[in-house]
Structure 1
Amino acid sequence: MSATPAGSAGAGDGVYRTGYFETRLAADPNRAVVWRHICDYLRRWIPADSDVLELGAGWCDFANAVAARSVTAMDLDATVLKAAHAGVTAIVGDCTDLSRFGDGSFDCVLASNLLEHLERADAERLLHEARRVLRPGGRLLLIQPNFRLNPKEYFDDYTHVAIYTDRSLTDLLTSLGWHVEHTFARFLPLTMKSRGSRLSFLVPWYLRSPIKPLAGQMLVVASNPAR
């Protein structure tokens, strides 16, 4: 949701703000609770003294919940400006262009449900830029719909333009020079909208359980090798 899709308007023209955010990503306080549980799980890869960048931050559910030295939330849509809590730096911009950040600016980059919205060239540009802005040994965390697990509902989101599976995403990252540390093919349900988000108290159990009914999203953890 961060790079301008082909044929769409730019940031602030309403492509995602008045369309996508209303139909697919409406404000939901239960989702923030879910993300607090997810952040607790992800802490093993995000030390508390990390400088963190979230790409495609949307409502800033991750950025507002993660414990870190500094947090920057970036999205093409201006929703990020009103959603970011105090202490989170919110930026409206194209996540495939990170030129505003110097080399080695961050310890962790996270993108959740982002790459599937980008054409391949844009996705590769984002992944190259993420490596550049990460310090050596810094980590990239990708939470993505896994097409292999739920092909029938994958394109219910009308802005999905690319297909990824746990295998294809791992291979893509490796081909671009990343060191893939972990690939969890089954991580979360495809969506936590409506009724599912109200069961947020079950999320810690779900994340720990080896059995994951209705799983539709994967988690890939990759690191930036020393050059």
Structure 2
Amino acid sequence: MTNSDKKVTDSYYSSRYTYNTDRSVVWKEIVRFLKPFWGDKKTVLDVGAGYCDFINNVDVPERIAIDMSPDFFQYADKNVKTIQTKADTLPTIKDASVDVAFSSNLLEHLNDDELASTVKEIKRVLKSGGLFILMQPNYYYSYRNYFDDATHKKVFSDSSLESFLVSHNFEIVKKMKKFLPFSLKSRPGLVPIHPLIIRAYINSPWKPFAGQMLFIVRNK
């Protein structure tokens, strides 16, 4: 990515993805749902942390957040280690040092080379048996709105993402074709932002307006 491209991308993100405190309510419930999968693990890495909504709600001894934005660190809790870098370049993180890597709405923004390098880096820093947790738009359920985001480069359905992860030697632990709505902006006002309602939605088998999928995979 050239400096010019990066400036355009940064400007686009800042206009499309504004900071919203309502998201913290949603992320607390997402973390509540995911926490049993990592149990007493000690190190969690948030890849493409953005406003740090996920990592700020995680309670483990070591929290690491990476993002390419030069401003993202200001949103991180004071005891979150922040690293400004792209997802496909994690030179300051040691091999096999991370218990859980997490990404939300990341892979669809990468080209083929970036995608391959990102997965390679995540596998490198993950411990054997470590978890990679992904939230991604499921094209099968979100095709009407998918390219409303001009920075989307890749298309994944739950089937294609499963094949992709298995081909990179990950073991599927949990797969949810429908997890959350495609965007908090996609159906404004239809789902009130309240912890109990969000919790019920996440745990319900019936998920109207869902366009996001969830994968939890284990590094072999």
Amino acid at match of 1:8: D
Task: Give the structure-1-normalised TM-score.
Answer: 0.90
Work out which of the residue numbers 13, 25, 31 in structure 1 matches 2:23. 31
Range 81-90 or range 195-204, more displaced: 195-204
1:206 paired residue number: 201
Q: Which residue is equivalent to 1:150?
A: 142
- The question of 1:111 aligning with 2:103 is answered yes
What percentage of aligned pairs have identical amino acids?
32
Deviation at 1:198, TM superposition (A): 4.7
The answer as to 2:9 corresponding to 1:15 is: yes
Q: CA deviation at 1:5?
A: 8.0
Say if 2:112 is the partner of 1:120: yes
Which aligned pairs between 1:1-227 and structure 2 lie closer than 5 A? Answer: 4=1, 8-9=5-6, 13=7, 15-16=9-10, 18-23=11-16, 25-193=17-185, 195=189, 198-201=192-195, 202-225=197-220
Cα distance in 1 between the residues matched to 2:191 and 2:52: 16
Q: Distance in 1 between matches of 2:84 and 2:58?
A: 20
Point out where structure 2 has 5 or more consecutive residues left out of the alignment. Answer: none
Deviation at 1:196, TM superposition (A): 5.8
Maintained 8 Å contact 2:25/2:193 = no
Residues paired across the two proteins, number: 217
SS at match of 1:199: coil
RMSD across aligned positions (CA): 1.8
The residue type paired with residue 100 of structure 1 is T
Secondary structure at the residue paired with 1:138? strand
Structure 1: where are the runs of 5+ without partners? none
The question of whether the paired residues in 2 share the 8 Å contact of 1:31 and 1:197 is answered with no
TM-score, reference length from structure 2: 0.93
SS in 2 for 1:8: helix
- Large movers: runs of 4+ above 4 Å: 4-7
